[in-house]
Chains A and B, each alone.
Chain A
Amino acid sequence: MATHHSTIPHQSCDGADGHHLLVSVSPHLKSDLTVSRIMWTVVACLMPPLLLSIFVFGFQTLIITLVSVISCVATEAIAQRLLGRPVTVKDGSAVITGVLLAYVIPPGVPLWTPVFGGVMAIFVTKVIMGGLGFNIFNPALIGRAFLVATYPVAMTTSWLSPIRDWAIFKHTGPAVDAVSSATPLYVLKHYGMAAMLEQFGSRATVYKDFFLGAMPGCIGETSALLLLLGGLYLIFKGYIRWHIPVSVIASTGVLTWIFGGERLFTGDPIIAVLSGGLMLGAFFMATDYVTSPNQRAGQIVFGIGVGALTVLIRLKGGYPEGVCYAILLMNPLTPAIDQLFKPKRFSQGAVQ
């Protein structure tokens, strides 16, 4: 069993007399980018949707998110302590998992839900697989999949209608009267486009509400705009590449347009792309370093796979929403995709 956290022996550097100089293998310069800086930047990029969700669904969302984060961090710390491994909660990865897990559960769930989800996401998916870098599946999504399978009622009926009167404390307290107002994707799947538009307003209104985030749905997946801005910032910083998000969004849009309507080529790609956590999945879940390929070509294949499976599940599967399972189904293919698409060796370009 390899030790995952070796340390370079720290020596005192009182080198004035030529002794006790630090010795290590080159390079002696390192970039100032660290794992924790990347992770905390992702956390920061995920904050605007949380703030919006407080105004859309109420203060409850903040509490659920906090419970989820605390549950994930505590699970990681306790598990690592019990297994005799160094505690690494400072790296921020468990915080990301906590935030993402909260973002993919409905805003009206009871508070024990994120606790169970967090244990499942961190302990089962990550820690016993070997910790950071060794998990096969996206931890937050395994947490969600577990909750959907185990508590289907809470996970599929705790939707809240958007608050439009600034009463953000409406849903706090023990008795959350969750509106079993179905999500737009649910209505679209079971009753068709006409019924969906009847319930949620004209097509233009639906576009606008989806884009800005005033729609029933999971906590963090309502506002396509804020998720898009956060994701674009990560691309701008160079922490993620455009290949996965763009291929996920494009393939979902195109395939929905082809197969999602009454006849071929009549589906509505815009609703497909703006709804149901696709933006969250495309920018923050499918791009998870550990569980996605790391070459550009492989990332495009991965992204198209996620998009195709999303559309397949939405149109033909048992759930109105497919992003979570689409990413989870593509995750274990990552090693195979990485085998197929290796970096091009320097001398492969040798042309006389």
Chain B
Amino acid sequence: MRTQLATFPKGGVHPKENKDLTRALPIETMPDPSKVSLFLKQHVGAPCQVSVPPRVDAPIDDGLLLAASHPGAVFRLLVHKKERVNVGDRVGDTGNRLGAVLHASVGGMVQGVENALHYQEGKAQALVIQTDPESVPPQYSEVDWRAFSREEIQARIAAAGIVGLGGAGFPTDVKLNVKPGTRLDTLILNGAECEPYITCDHRVMVTYAREIVEGARILLTVLGITYCAIGVENNKPDAIAALNEAIARARADDGFRIEVKPLAVKYPQGSADQIMQSITGRVRPSGQRSSSIGIIVQNVYTTKMVYDAVALGKPLTERVITITGRAIARPANLRVKIGTPISEIVNYLGGTTPDLCKVVVGGPMMGFAVSDLDIPITKTTPGVLFLSHEEVDAQAFGPCIRCGFCLDACPMGLEPNTIGIYVEAGRGAETEPFGLMDDCFECGSCAYACPAKRPLVQFIRLARIEINQARKLKEAREQIRKAG
């Protein structure tokens, strides 16, 4: 007799999980790399500012006042070339604009700001720190966070540079800044980890269940609500057991109700919209925030980092990532410093096998293929895949046979087949009515399911580009008309 597991009704696919490579491997700490490259933008919002000489302090205000979490902050230039920093030193800040602060992830000497390869954006500015093996990292000790006010807790989260670690990278303190008058009732911790291959959240839940549950209490305190559901896909029974045990052990009469919700294994279970629907049955209206239906979603690993920030005062300088695939000599769940180049991770794990075909930063469904290993890990990198020939499907694609499998697969009820046909015909700009601008989060379920192997996500991205171009053109024409 199987209990009915909670899940979302519409769409979804069941890719091979491939988690066995790393499922049972305990978290291992990699020694500091020889250098780290810290992207100035590894979060949603404005890029961090750092100082390269000349060093001046200047207030900034360019109208991007989004973050109420830095009220009246005066932006300070923080470091300069050849300066020595220690782990956890603040080296970048976005001032009063939306963003997250950046910390040195190793002790050593600041080399300056360079253009580094970025897996998503080609190249991006990064602060490079040369590691000094002699530097002694600071020690953190636990304090009773219950002594802090809500504002103090949020300030500590902001000061630690915590962003959504699931991949979105939204600054956590800003997410907790719910508009006054919003009626919240549920905090969801997202431990679905529905991407195949990736097991970092899994290991974090098994290893740090106590910290996650305590982090949930911190978040509930900030939000002023009492109920938290931790959604975990049912393929991680040890994580579910560890969390349940931590909840039972940490029973306090503080009125909080925290429970684990086992979820059916179905991709994209870990998408915010889908996990909210799986757990509460509520559906977020298009274009609105999750708080409009009374829910805040946080990734379990982010929650663990929140605990570290608030209870230990520890900034976000390292994270666990899953290094996996059949073309890496030794798969691992590895704790690495933010900014560690993938090439150094590969060397540490004994190199790649000769049949390496594709390297993907992130999960196989939404990650980015890269052509170079000199790419640094960011706060939002859940893992790196080293895929062999047999794991890569490089078939040519054919015409759409109208089978409708992509329609069944799309969790948002869109029509990827139609969008693809429009784009192929050079009419991508006309696809806006199909809802791809608001609702498609490029989960890849459609392209996974397509028997003709059509690159539907690529078509959707092209359609978005064409729609944006058409909008710009329209605006320009309007302006010319007005001027004339």
Contact = CB atoms under 8 A, between A and B. Distances in A.
Contact of A22 (B358, B373, B404): B358
Interface of B: 10, 13, 15-16, 196, 273, 282-286, 293, 327, 343, 351-360, 362, 364-374, 385, 387, 389, 392-405, 407, 410-415, 424-426, 435, 439, 442, 444-445, 447-453, 455, 457-458, 461
Nearest to A342: B415
Interface string A1-39: 011111110100111101111111111111101110110
B439 A132 contact: no
Contact of B369 (A6, A18, A23): A23
Given A2-B424, A38-B451, A31 B343 contact: no
B325 to A, nearest CB: 10
A35 B451 contact: yes
Interface in A139-157: none
Nearest to A345: B413
Interface of B is mostly: loop
Given A22-B394, A31-B449, A345-B439, A15 B359 contact: yes
B358 A5 contact: no
Nearest to A293: B404
Nearest to B197: A29
B283 A351 contact: yes
A101 to B, nearest CB: 19
B345 to A, nearest CB: 12
Given A22-B392, A37-B451, A38-B451, A294 B426 contact: no
Contacts of A88: 398
Contacts of A343: 407, 410, 413-415
A344 B444 CA distance: 19
A346 interface: yes
A292 to B, nearest CB: 8
A30 B369 contact: no
Contacts of B352: 15-16
A17 to B, nearest CB: 9
Highest count of chain B CB atoms <10 Å: which of A20, A29, A352:
A29
Contact of B343 (A18, A19, A25, A290): A18
A233 B374 CA distance: 50
Highest count of chain B CB atoms <10 Å: which of A4, A13, A27:
A27
B399 A25 contact: no
Given A23-B370, A346-B273, 15 more contacts: A5-B396, A15-B359, A16-B351, A16-B356, A18-B372, A21-B359, A22-B369, A23-B369, A24-B394, A25-B461, A294-B404, A343-B415, A345-B413, A346-B413, A347-B439
14 contacts: A13-B392, A16-B356, A19-B371, A21-B371, A26-B360, A26-B447, A28-B369, A29-B393, A35-B401, A38-B451, A345-B439, A348-B413, A350-B284, A351-B282
Given A29-B364, A351-B283, A133 B448 contact: no
A34 B396 CA distance: 11
Contacts of B358: 13, 15, 21-24, 28
Contacts of A19: 371-372
Contacts of B374: 18
A349 interface: yes
B359 A294 contact: no
Contact of B357 (A15, A132, A134, A290): A15
A26 B404 contact: no
Given A30-B447, A348-B413, A350-B284, A21 B369 contact: yes
Contacts of A133: 399-402
Given A2-B426, A27-B365, A7 B448 contact: no
B393 A30 contact: yes
A347 B366 contact: no
Contacts of B373: 18
B80 to A, nearest CB: 33
A8 B397 contact: yes
Nearest to A4: B399
A30 B453 contact: yes
A166 B407 CA distance: 49
B15 A344 contact: no
A268 interface: no
A16 B352 CA distance: 6
